[in-house]
Structure 1
Amino acid sequence: MSNTLITILLATYNRAHLIEETLRSIQNQTHVNFECFITDDNSSDDTAVTVKRFCQGDPRFHYFLKPEKYPKGLSANRNFGLDLAEKHGAQYIQFFDDDDIMHPRKLELQLKPFLVDKKLDLTICCYRKFDKTAMIEFDLDLADDKSCHIKTGNLLKSFYLNKINLNSLGPLWKAEVLKRYRFDERLRYTEERDFYLRIFLLQKIRYVPVPYILFWYRKHEKAITSNLYEDNGVYKKEAKRISETNFLNLVLKQEKAPYFLLKSFLKKAIITNNSKNLKGVNNYVLQKIFDWKLRYFTILVLNPYFRIIRVFHNFNFYV
């Protein structure tokens, strides 16, 4: 059994009625050398009382109230956890949420590949949804590929195109990878997708899929974000816009952007009639890309498109 220390970052908000089940599932891990930092986004219920009482019985669990310098929301709460992990010299990081359940062998099985290959950055696993804990069976069954896709030869492409199942709770990270990154605190939704896309774009991540169901995601109406925000539709739309715009701008700053992303951006911009994004991708292709199919598309299709837009809407585009 490895004595490697794993740091679990458990974000919580108003979960006094559920969090103890989550904490018990962490406490029952077969890999016993862990520390669990529970970061509370200033809950208004008895979460603090419940967690502090639990921490008294197990010194591996630590309660932290999020300081005022961090804004409200899950993204900032996760960043608070990451800052704590870096301060304490974390080696491996496991994100988790306050209403979900870990398989007893999650940490053990996802740590194993790291002990074999010191160059690994990430291991991921499969999951299932549940309504009640009575639905959970801790048999170590292989996940069938139809329900949970975690194998891919191109992590960025598969994740961007939603071809693999990856969320905050599945990955076990080498802490060194995450030092450069933080969640976008403006985002109240899609924060994990935004976070992972930036990492996968900017770094070549070495990962191993662990094809077992190693955590259960609670399916219910009151997730952390829906407890915080009233008009979910407005926030979701705005978060999606911010995330997509930021990622597009980041991609266009790269010396060599992946073709599949450029093609996807072009397609989406045409469908949504987003002339600003079209112009940005068009100029990038003409200046840096030497794939003739893509160049012909921009020259024969996009440039005439811009001319039409300029004529009918009096826009001053550079063509």
Structure 2
Amino acid sequence: MSTPLVSIIIPTFNRASIINDTLDSILDQTYSNWECLVVDDGSTDETKKVIHNYALKDPRISALERPPEKSKGANSCRNYGLSLAKGDYVIFFDSDDIMVMTCLEKRVEAFNKYENKDFLVFSMGIFKKKYAYEIPPNRKVVNLPLDKTIEDFILSVALPWNVCRPIFKMSLIQNKIGFNEKIHNFQDDEFHIRLLSELKPDYLSIDITDCYYRYDEVSLNKYESLSGYQNIVNCFNEYYTTVFKALNEEQKQKLNKQLKRKFFNQISFYVIPKINREVLFETIKLFDEKIGFTFKEKLIFNLVLFLNKYYYQKKGYYLVSKQLKKTINNNL
């Protein structure tokens, strides 16, 4: 078996207490020809010290910091790591997740078998505490034509895969595509929608669980705040610009109502009082330009915005918003 170099790129921020689990799982790999580029995003805890200690122990680990001229965020860190990576293959991993010992070995073996593919996607389990690993019985394994895969990324509640699950040929993406540094949410889906639509790669999903996602209440709850909601709203225009660019006219017509329903539900949930609506209005304009709003649809959207701004969680809010959702679902 050939032993190509695998680049593992990990962005991190304030993970001093848990990043050792991730790095230990990489050091434990049965496949040894890898490099791990860990890019710190300006941590204020001991994360940088932890990374540097690992780099001293094993030269395959590089302790890096996001350049100050690059915008803050995981996507900037991923792009910086990608610019320095030297591997034949590349995996984007998260600093709180864990690889199975044979993860790299099995992924390289699979590429030897499916050498005509541009990237392979593997399954991912979950864990809430170390060694308590679970493989979801309803895990999603997607092998669809590119247009259907893109639609699945846009409309499904569960994404076809997240950023940790693929292994890419470096030649597919390096100097050809990168992560959107303007957004802090919708990162996985926005990247893969662009990758699939612009590069038109040949991929294969393989149902082998070789890594585990940390189910962390603290991380999950970081969006449950005004600033978390604002970050999501601020990403609407960039995300939907990518969506509309990826869809052809036939798809836009076919998915018209589903796209509007998704956007309506996002507005209903995230656009609460004190949210800056500037990006939201840009996104509404984008929708109107790309797929158009009927007079009734515009009226319903404006009613939701008015309701959320002036009557959010006040008496009668729940009943009125529920009726509006029912109306939009009946019409869309």
Residue 66 of structure 1 is matched in structure 2 by: 66
Question: 1:155-204 CA distances to partner (integer Å, 9 max, x unpaired)?
Answer: 32333332653001111011112121111111111111101001111232
Deviation at 1:104, TM superposition (A): 0.9
TM-score normalised by the chain length of structure 1? 0.77
Residue 215 of structure 1 is matched in structure 2 by: 211
Structure 2 CA distance for aligned equivalents of residues 217 and 307 of structure 1: 43
Note if contact 1:30-1:107 (Cα within 8 Å) is conserved in structure 2.
Answer: yes
Structure 2 CA distance for aligned equivalents of residues 84 and 202 of structure 1: 23
Residue 193 of structure 1 is matched in structure 2 by: 189
Note if contact 1:12-1:224 (Cα within 8 Å) is conserved in structure 2.
Answer: no
Note if contact 1:74-1:224 (Cα within 8 Å) is conserved in structure 2.
Answer: no
Residue 102 of structure 2 is matched in structure 1 by: 105
Question: 1:28-51 CA distances to partner (integer Å, 9 max, x unpaired)?
Answer: 111111000111112111111111
Q: Secondary structure at the match of 1:212?
A: strand
Residue 151 of structure 2 is matched in structure 1 by: 157
State the one-letter code of the partner of 1:159.
F
| 1:48 maps to 2:54 | no
Q: Secondary structure at the match of 1:181?
A: coil
Q: Secondary structure at the match of 1:123?
A: strand
Residue 169 of structure 1 is matched in structure 2 by: 164
Residue 115 of structure 2 is matched in structure 1 by: 118
Taking a change above 3 Å as real, the CA distance of residues 195 and 276 of structure 1, as seen in their structure-2 partners, is closer
Residue 240 of structure 1 is matched in structure 2 by: 236
Residue 206 of structure 1 is matched in structure 2 by: 202
Structure 2 CA distance for aligned equivalents of residues 277 and 32 of structure 1: 49
| 1:7 maps to 2:7 | yes
Residues 196-205 or 236-245, more deviating: 236-245
Question: 1:135-167 CA distances to partner (integer Å, 9 max, x unpaired)?
Answer: 037xxxxx67x5211232223233333265300
| 1:38 maps to 2:6 | no
Structure 1 CA distance for aligned equivalents of residues 79 and 88 of structure 2: 17
State the one-letter code of the partner of 2:155.
L
What is the aligned-residue identity percentage? 25
Q: CA RMSD in A?
A: 3.0
Residue 23 of structure 1 is matched in structure 2 by: 23
Residue 254 of structure 2 is matched in structure 1 by: 263
Taking a change above 3 Å as real, the CA distance of residues 279 and 71 of structure 1, as seen in their structure-2 partners, is closer
**Runs of 4+ with deviation above 6 angstroms:** 306-309
Note if contact 1:8-1:95 (Cα within 8 Å) is conserved in structure 2.
Answer: yes
Structure 1 CA distance for aligned equivalents of residues 59 and 90 of structure 2: 18
Deviation at 1:258, TM superposition (A): 6.6
Structure 1 CA distance for aligned equivalents of residues 296 and 94 of structure 2: 50
Deviation at 1:275, TM superposition (A): 6.5
Counting only pairs closer than 5 Å after superposition, residues 143-154 of structure 1 correspond to structure 2 as 146-154=137-145
State the one-letter code of the partner of 1:277.
F
Note if contact 2:155-2:258 (Cα within 8 Å) is conserved in structure 1.
Answer: no
Q: Secondary structure at the match of 2:193?
A: helix
Note if contact 2:26-2:101 (Cα within 8 Å) is conserved in structure 1.
Answer: yes
Taking a change above 3 Å as real, the CA distance of residues 225 and 6 of structure 1, as seen in their structure-2 partners, is farther
Note if contact 1:113-1:208 (Cα within 8 Å) is conserved in structure 2.
Answer: no
Note if contact 1:126-1:170 (Cα within 8 Å) is conserved in structure 2.
Answer: yes
Structure 1 CA distance for aligned equivalents of residues 124 and 297 of structure 2: 49
Taking a change above 3 Å as real, the CA distance of residues 23 and 106 of structure 1, as seen in their structure-2 partners, is same
Deviation at 1:246, TM superposition (A): 3.4
Deviation at 1:219, TM superposition (A): 1.1
Taking a change above 3 Å as real, the CA distance of residues 269 and 147 of structure 1, as seen in their structure-2 partners, is closer
Structure 1 CA distance for aligned equivalents of residues 285 and 48 of structure 2: 49
Q: Which runs of 5+ in 2 are unaligned?
A: 268-283, 299-332
Q: Secondary structure at the match of 1:8?
A: strand
Structure 2 CA distance for aligned equivalents of residues 174 and 130 of structure 1: 28
Note if contact 1:269-1:275 (Cα within 8 Å) is conserved in structure 2.
Answer: no
Q: Secondary structure at the match of 1:129?
A: strand
Structure 2 CA distance for aligned equivalents of residues 103 and 53 of structure 1: 22
